[in-house]
Amino acid sequence: MAQTPDLREFSLIGQTALVTGGNAGIGLGLARGLARAGAAVAILGRRAEENAAAVADLRALGATAHAYEADLLDLAALPDLYARVAADLGSVDILVNNAGSVVVADAVDLELAEFERLMRLNVTAGLALSQLFARERIATQAPGAIVCIASLMSEICRPGTAAYAISKGAVKQLVKTLAVEWAPHGIRVNGIGPGYIRTPLTQRLQDDADFDRKVLADTPMGRWGEPDDLAGTCVFLASDAARFLTGQIIYVDGGWLALI
């Protein structure tokens, strides 16, 4: 008789998750994966209309879902915002630092104000939310999991990506630093490095015929990724199946880094 698989280690039933930038693209794909695994999900996003659509999407999966309109550049507002989310969910067991942006400019031409704004969103906001998460988990002696979205640019760079590559290199070190400091408290910190994924953020690259051909040629699996391709890795990192895994970046890139 066939054995029924025991997948309880991968289940997130009874868990709660907060996903920044969870109303579209990679963030929504991650939120869907967490919801399918049983977690109640809260998303932070700047646009109310996209937030509402994302919540409807998640609730159609049978999930408990909430959305909060937020500008993560407003660091002073994050403590009160986080307290609201934690109160509504009961607690936050899983934090996904996904929100981010891109600045396209050669290093020699990069406006420092633009660079600082990018670092504030891609790095500082994630650190600030991670601090709030860790303080609550440590105070209640509860374990937790943080997943940060890194990038291929955490490992390599190409012309015109100076600001983005610097910020995502910082995310890689953020993951390692927090993992080392917070492991004694049962807080695991890992990252996902997406390959070339079809999202609104990469639309300009998708529309560039030469770049599209290069992505397909340089990706052994021969295609762009989809946001849902990242969901399983996020669920794994958030779940008890990854209980001895911390300080790592898993690259979900169709083999791109292995080929270069």
Looking at domain 13-259, which of 3.20.20.210, 3.30.2010.20, 3.40.50.720, 2.40.50.100 is its CATH number?
A: 3.40.50.720
Q: Which residues 6+ apart lie within 8 Å of 202 measured at CB?
A: 196, 224
Along the 260 residues of the chain, how does pLDDT read in single tens digits?
567 787 889 999 999 999 999 999 999 999 999 999 999 999 999 999 999 999 999 999 999 999 999 999 999 999 999 999 999 999 999 999 999 999 999 999 999 999 999 999 999 999 999 999 999 999 999 999 999 999 999 999 989 999 999 999 999 999 999 999 999 999 999 999 999 999 988 999 999 999 999 999 999 999 999 999 999 999 999 999 999 999 999 999 999 999 98
Q: Which residues 6+ apart lie within 8 Å of 48 measured at CB?
A: 69
Which pTM was predicted?
A: 0.96
Q: Which residues 6+ apart lie within 8 Å of 85 measured at CB?
A: 18, 42, 44, 66, 68, 92
At 178-201, the pLDDT tens digits run 999 999 999 999 999 999 999 988
Known catalytic residues are: 164
